Chain A
Amino acid sequence: MDDLRAGLNEVDCDVLVIGGGTAGPMAAYRARKKNPNAKVILLEKANVKRSGAISMGMDGLNNAVIPGHSTPEQYTKEITIANDGICDQAAVYKYAQNCYSIIEELDQFGIRFQKDENGEYDVKKVHHIGTYVLPMPNGDTVKKALYRQLRRARVLISNRYMATRLLTGQSGRVAGTIAVNTRTGEFLVIRAKAVIMCMGAAGRLGLPTSGYLYGTYENPTNSGEGYAMAYHAGAKLANLECFQINPLIKDYNGPACAYVAGPFGGYTANSKNERFIECDYWSGQMMQEFYNELQSGKGPVFLKLNHLHKDTADHIEHILHTVERPTRGRFHEQRGTKYADKMIEMHISEIGFCSGHSASGVYVDEFARTTVPGLYAAGDMASVPHNYMLGAFTNGAIAGEHAIDFADEVDFEEFDETAISLEQERVLAPTQRDDGLPPNQIEYKIRRLVNDYLQPPKVTAKYELCQERLAEVREDMNTQMMARDAHELMRCMEVASILDCADMAAFASLYRTESRWGLYHWRSDYPDSNDEDWKCHVLLSKQDDAMTCEKHPVAPYIIPIAEDEKDAYYKQRITAQA
């Protein structure tokens, strides 16, 4: 294993799904279900059994729109407001209308959600405006159940292939992809009538405070290939300046999941034991409050459960330590921290792109279509904001069903065959050098620069310096990066994506000369929001081989938001008199 071999294989299919994490399996499954005669391939860099953000499962849904507890209209309003109004509602509304049927389908797959003693979904109340939290006590079975359904549906699964570039035709339509085997370096060319990208967040962009390259908030396999590949294929990417930054357990760097503890009475507190978060929803506003508290004399910030009954605290601890990131229990055990006794120190994550938690993603409409014909995107890498796991499943399903119909109508797109040999040459370049820089060193340098210069608060002069440094690193990468085996070659390709994402993060942030979305896009030299000029999307794309940005209007709202409804949020956010 790992020894490089020469090889090239070509296959074709109706629908190709790239990425077997959360959205991808659902897209492939629904495409096959809708047209059982179609050939559907699911390509995965790791192994579908345990890949992606939910490799070990998930402990709950925090955006479940369940009849009787909340309505699609309510949810759409909330997401619009949480996103400072910059939101194409059609996709959010469609998600909200469809997600309950997805919950029922997942339940049939064997993914069990918390039920009361009558077997009804046990939705937890968090606040007045809507109720969206549905715990998943057996959430560790998610991937297993998905894999089982894929096998039963006879989806063709291709593990350990990393897609490196999309193929496009003369008309600009997508024609397929080129992938490289991560254990042999052999190439696979897949021609497809439609391609759905479900390649996750760009989670290896910033460097975690621990300094460990792989100690990221996101699964580090999610290194931003989706963003980079979409960019190089000419797709537009939306609001990349709206970074993902999340509240985490310090050092462990896993999610604190205060929303899981919330219904039981747990909350985020400062060192004076006081709740301080004014914002209801996980958003840039909330992260700004978190950041301010960390910087103030009242920091650090903690997850507080030690005021609860011991049974309750132990119960929450048990949920949090068994699902999503189960080594969390091991981390606390080593430090001797019990949730029932002691508050748990929290911190903020490194930056990344992830629409799942913020709004940075490949621009898609309500059918998950990107701006490239035949190319779809779903999950953390697509621009539907605050989407989380259930959004990935739901939009994956929408993408799968739309793509299979699209594929039925068209023939394969012709493309220039020389693209294949050119891409092989690009990918294999690091293997042609027997002296040079290993990918881990280049990666460390890029991500260290991201932390030094790109983390909010965003300062123009620092951003411009960063662009200079990153250009130097790019030169090193192009001329000196070296791989000794297929595994290192995979890391080299990831480094290229990480660098592309860092460039995009800097470029998009400089373009939007205002502050918005709280901490996500806090520009200290433009500290105020400017609705007049900037209440719009920023779309980044490649034009004539250069990065460009453009303004794009927000689609007219389907669910109007009255001024006093905005107030319903903000009025409650009045701060205490000192």
Chain B
Amino acid sequence: MVFEPFEDESDFELLADKLGEDDPAVRRVAVMDLADTADPEAIPLIASTVKDESPEVRLQAAIALGEFDGLATATALCLLLQDTDNRVIQAATDSLSELKDPASAEPMLDLTSHDNAKVREGALLGLKQLRRPDAMANGIEAMKDPVPAVRIQAVGVVGYLKAEEALPALIASCKDADPEVRRTAVGALAFSRSSHAKDALLVALADEHWAVREIAAEVLGKHSEGLDGQKLMPLLDDPYWQVRVKAVRSLGKLRVVEAVDKIGSQLDEVTSNLRKEAAAALGEIAEKSALPYLEKLVDDPDPDVRKNVRWALGRIG
């Protein structure tokens, strides 16, 4: 007896017939089988279900289209993004973010000022991954959106494009009312070496939200040229140790000699992660004046702290 050992080749005619069945569960299974083929021939068949009366079938179509790419896929997904059912919208958003083909951007560009905020958010998320320069204007416009979740995605689109001309918009978003928008915008400044970006980052060091201060301290560590590293020193008194860790790290990277004593005082912290980073930073700065601080910690109960102390002592030599 001979049997077929390989996965079935796709029978599109049969699957198309199933899409015409009365039972929505049968149509749904057909959509799943179409997705499984990974054959572009399946795209128009799946796209034919975006107005199916059953939300489950439309949901399955939104998931299924994530297996494909290109303009036709994006067009169908953009229709599903405007669905009335929230599950369909979410699935369409997820699938849009999977697309890689730059041609997929076309239908999304039309939706960044849609009435429904979920649609705007989904379209921007899709655009972000595609990094098309012509999406910049849409992104900058959407950075003024009334809904924070949309503004976060808008900052994402612009941040991924890493363009100096978008700096004014990104810097403006560093003062957004929503802390997550501010955090994203501050993080997006990492690419720029301009003094405007640097100034905005220094302002963000005093942000009221700890997560914004944390990322500002981290990003500034990457800005070595022309930065007065001492401006990071006040963060060593931050009530959040997470912020202090990033500040210590960046002060070490920037080799801010003036910070040695203040970093040394972090070595008395209860949080051993902070002691560890402080020891490492003192090693990076490699100033003799750090020796007394480090020597106190040679027998720290935390092995990671001890390792960093040894390493730092070795560097100061």
Contact = CB atoms under 8 A, between A and B. Distances in A.
Interface of A: 5-7, 9, 11, 41, 108, 110, 116-120, 127-128, 141, 144, 147-148, 151-152, 156-159, 161, 186, 188, 265, 267, 274-278, 280, 307-309, 311-312, 571-577
Interface string B28-55: 0000000011110000000000000000
A275 B242 contact: no
A-B pairs with lowest CB-CB distance, top 9: A151-B38, A117-B187, A572-B307, A117-B188, A119-B160, A265-B273, A117-B159, A278-B303, A118-B191
Given A265-B245, A275-B304, A151 B37 contact: yes
B306 A7 contact: no
B190 A275 contact: no
Interface in B248-263: none
14 contacts: A6-B1, A7-B3, A41-B6, A118-B191, A120-B190, A151-B37, A151-B39, A157-B7, A265-B245, A274-B302, A275-B304, A308-B242, A309-B240, A572-B310
Nearest to B69: A110
Contact of B38 (A108, A148, A576): A148
Contact of A108 (B100, B160, B187, B304): B100
A161 B5 contact: yes
A280 B306 CA distance: 12
B266 interface: no
Nearest to B2: A9
A275 B191 contact: no
Contacts of A577: 299
Contacts of A41: 6
Interface of chain B: mostly helix, strand, loop or mixed: helix
B131 A116 contact: no
Contacts of A267: 273, 304
B11 to A, nearest CB: 15
B67 interface: yes
A9 B38 contact: no
Interface of chain A: mostly helix, strand, loop or mixed: loop
A152 B67 CA distance: 10
B184 interface: yes
A57 to B, nearest CB: 14
Contacts of B307: 127, 278, 280, 572-573
Contacts of A575: 303
B300 interface: yes
Contacts, number: 105
Given A148-B38, A571-B310, A572-B307, A118 B162 contact: yes
Given A11-B5, A117-B184, A309-B242, A576 B299 contact: yes
B131 A119 contact: yes
Contact of A312 (B155, B242, B303): B242
Contacts of A156: 6-7
B56 interface: no
A311 B3 CA distance: 56
B138 interface: no
A576 B100 contact: no
Interface bracket on B: 35 or more
Contacts of B75: none
Contacts of A158: 5-7
B187 A116 contact: yes
Contacts of A188: 5
Contacts of B145: none
B272 interface: yes
A275 B5 contact: no
B211 interface: yes
A256 to B, nearest CB: 17
B300 A576 contact: yes
Contact of B311 (A309, A311, A572): A572
A575 B298 CA distance: 10
A157 B273 contact: no
A151 B41 CA distance: 13
Contacts of B39: 151
A309 B271 CA distance: 12
Contacts of A280: 307
Contacts of B272: 275
B98 interface: yes
B156 interface: yes
B6 A9 contact: no
B306 A572 contact: yes
Interface in B1-22: 1-3, 5-7
A41 B5 CA distance: 10
B280 interface: yes
B245 to A, nearest CB: 7
Given A148-B38, A275-B303, 15 more contacts: A7-B2, A116-B187, A117-B156, A118-B190, A120-B190, A127-B307, A151-B39, A152-B38, A161-B5, A265-B271, A265-B273, A312-B242, A572-B307, A576-B300, A576-B301
